[in-house]
Homo-oligomer: A and B are copies of this chain.
C-alpha cells in the first residue's frame, strides 16, 4: 500500500462542500447526484466544476473513485479500505459492514511480489432491500 500524494489545495466553496457532502453520505453518488446535492447549497455551481473537483479530490486521496458498476462512475467519501456489495437488481453500491479482513490481506500479499498499491474487492449479488422485496412478493410458482 502506498501513501497518497496529498497536496495543498486551494479551499473553495465548491470543493469544501463537495467533500463535506461526500463524507456525510454512504450512498456512493454519481457525479450528477453530487451535482444536485451541491446545487442546493451553491445554486450556480456547474457540472464541470463538480467533475473537476471530484477528479482532483480523488487524485489527492481525499475521496475514492468507484468504477465498474456500469456506465456511471461513483464516488465514495470513505477513503479507508473497505469492501462493496453491488446489487445486480437495483445497481446500488453498499459498504460491507466489516473491517478489511486480515486473512484476505495476508493471502493477497503472499500472492505476488510486484509493487501493489491497493486492492479492490467487490461482492456482486442482491442487496438486503432488494432481497426483502423478492422474498415478500415471491408467489409459489409464478407463471409468465
- Hey, which bits of chain A sit against chain B, CB under 8 A? 66-70, 83, 85, 88, 96, 98, 101, 103-104, 106-108, 111-112, 114-128, 131
Contact = CB atoms under 8 A, between A and B. Distances in A.
User: Which applies to chain A's interface (DSSP): helix, strand, loop or mixed?
Assistant: mixed
Contact of A70 (B66, B67, B104): B67
A83 to B, nearest CB: 8
Number of copies: 2
B120 A116 contact: no
Contacts of A123: 108, 111-112, 114, 116, 119
Nearest to A84: B120
A99 to B, nearest CB: 11
